[in-house]
Amino acid sequence: MQRWGIERAFQELKDTFFFDHYQVRSKEKIMRYWMLSTLVFSLIYWIKLNGCLTKILNFYPSSFNEYKQALQKLILFSSYSFLSKNPDEYSFYFADIKSQRFKNNSIFN
């Protein structure tokens, strides 16, 4: 009875989060990636069930991939908003970037 839910979770992990493309040999790295993937999957599933994005977005995401893309846009937007209001953090963000052209073409300019 519970097998179908497990199969759907693995299918979403493989399709949306590219779980099957990650190749390592270290047990520690495999466990780290497994935990991170299941954490993100659980977070997106929780957001989907609770309708947390319905007040923010102009559309209603229907698939895990659409939820993942919506969360990515929200993270980029909040990062842009934060960095545009805090010049010290902006300079810290780009402190290790050597290429001036990359800095000038960034979305934060």
Model pLDDT for residues 87-99, shown as the tens digit of each residue:
787 778 777 877 7
Domains of the chain by residue range:
1-50, 54-109
Q: Which residue has the higher pLDDT, 105 or 39?
A: 39
Note the pLDDT of residue 89: 79
- CA dihedral 87→90→95→96, nearest 10 degrees, is 180
CB within 8 Å of 9: residues ≥ 6 apart? 41
Q: What percent of the chain has pLDDT over 70?
A: 94
The rounded distance, in Å, linking the Cα atoms of 16 and 24 is 19
Note the pLDDT of residue 108: 60
What pTM did the predictor assign?
0.57
- Ranges of H-type helices in 3-109: 3-16, 27-50, 64-85, 87-93, 100-104
Note the pLDDT of residue 2: 64
